[in-house]
Amino acid sequence: MASPTSPTSSNSPPSSAVLHNAPAISLRANGVLASSTFAFTICFAVWMVFAVLGIPLKQQLGLNDTEFGLLAAMPVLSGSLIRVPLGIWTDRYGGRIVFFLLMLATVVPIWLLAYATTLWQLLALGLLLGLAGGSFSVGTPYVARWFPRHRQGLAMGIFGAGNSGAALTKFVAPALIAAAGTWTIVPKVYAVAMLATALLFWMFSATNPAHRVAASSAGWRAQLAMLRDPRVWRYSQYYSVVFGGYVGLALWMTRYYIGEYGFDIRVAAFLAACFSLPGGVLRAIGGWISDRYGAHRTTWWVMWVSWVGFFLLSYPQTDLVIQTANGPLAFHLGLSPTLFTVLLFAVGIAFAIGKASVFKFIANDFPQNIGAVSGVVGLAGGLGGFILPILFGALADLTGVRSSCFMLMYGTVCVSLVWMHYSHRGATPAVA
């Protein structure tokens, strides 16, 4: 039996070598977090490129709203379907090499987008460049394993702030189009940016073999066995709202501002960024809040804020005439651009916090399978982001009511609130 002072004793102090290496490990962890966050930001900007390019392409090809929604959502489909295998490969082979190869694989499709002239070509290339969206399922477990449990929520939140790439596209792409006079400049610039980002990521990231070995000790079947856990499906539904809704609305809002308020593409994209930017940047704050107050409490309040926001945003522009004793009295009910943008900004903040809180659930409940579970949950969120723009377009074509997109989102939030209530009945905080 080891003595109390033996090095093998659990009470023995850490060795000087461990203490000496701690600052170096922390430095590498911060380097991984910074390089991964930057890479994810560029990947997300590429993933959302049709939110802006779709506007001139809609005019050039004569697309209706449903076809526009399909074009905008096509990259989201491939980026979602690839998330589960990417998460598993990250657990097995390590995040650095998977992330690097994934970015390289998208460079050529992005460049070729400038030469596409038909809808089917754009859809096919959209599927290929959409692989960049799968980077989330690589970066999340890659970053999380570099940090202790009590800091994982914040670390994943900072990484997830790369969602602000959606806002980056809304600032950069319209400026490039205005400067060059054509949309074809955007894919060329983005392809060069993706190649440069991949090289910078490889230079400043790092590999810890212990992360790969610990994760790959379980086979594929063991990693996928957690799909029988109902928590995985519950978290998938939550994420399909906060992330799928974020992606869907980020793709749709530029088009919405143009159609609803008559703005040009630069003003519309700038105002749409008022939703995309907080929905990405503030995810880090959501991670900190989740660490401090818990994933369930945070997600619960996120859903309630979203519920109120979508209820107000759903109301269409309405002219009402009341017959009075003195004759007809006309009223106009509707959201002004300013009030609409403020409400959208509030929903963007709620979604940013909710995206982080859902992944705090995963880090707490599945520490050994973060990659595989985040892949499944990310797939659900991504599929939501793929389906929603198509449904937004179909509803607009069928009803002619543009705010029908918010009516649909209101319904999805209702489902989440009901599910959360009955799944966590004993833990649900009272609503004031």
Lowest mean pLDDT among 6-15, 270-279, 282-291, 337-346: 6-15
Taking all residues of the chain, what is their mean pLDDT, rounded to a whole number? 84
Average pLDDT over residues 116-136: 92
Contacts of 105 (CB under 8 A, 6+ apart): 131
- Please count the helices (runs of H) and the strands (runs of E) in the chain: 20, 2
Helix (H/G/I), strand (E/B), else coil: 182: coil
pLDDT tens digits along 50-109: 989 999 998 899 999 899 989 988 998 998 888 778 877 887 888 899 999 999 999 999
Q: Are 145 and 370 in contact (CB under 8 A)?
A: yes
Higher per-residue confidence, 211 vs 365: 365
pLDDT-above-90 percentage for the chain: 42
Query: Which of the four pLDDT bands, split at 50, 70 and 90, describes residue 127?
Result: very high
Other Cβ atoms closer than 10 A to 36: 27
Cβ atoms within 10 Å of 27's Cβ, excluding its own? 11
* pLDDT computed for residue 349 by the predictor: 92
Residue range 381-403, pLDDT digits in tens? 888 988 999 999 999 999 999 99
Rounded (5°) CA angle 19-20-26: 80
pLDDT tens digits, residue range 177-192? 999 989 999 999 999 9
Indicate if the pLDDT at residue 11 is higher than 50.
no
Q: Per-residue confidence at 231, pLDDT binned at 50, 70, 90?
A: confident
**Which of 13-22, 293-302, 314-323, 410-419 has the lowest average pLDDT?**
13-22
Which residue(s) pair with 329 in the sheet? 322
Residue 380, pLDDT above cutoff 70? yes
d(CA 262, CA 202): 44
**All domains of the chain in start order, with CATH:** 25-423 (1.20.1250.20)
pTM for this structure?
0.76
- Does the structure show a pLDDT above 90 at 419? no
In sequence order, which residues have a C-beta less than 8 Å from that of residue 311 and are 6 or more positions away? 410
Q: Which residue has the higher pLDDT, 311 or 231?
A: 311
What is the model's pLDDT at position 221?
Answer: 63
Of 311 and 91, the structure prediction assigns the larger pLDDT to 311
- Give the CA-trace dihedral at 191, 200, 165, 292, to 10 degrees: 160
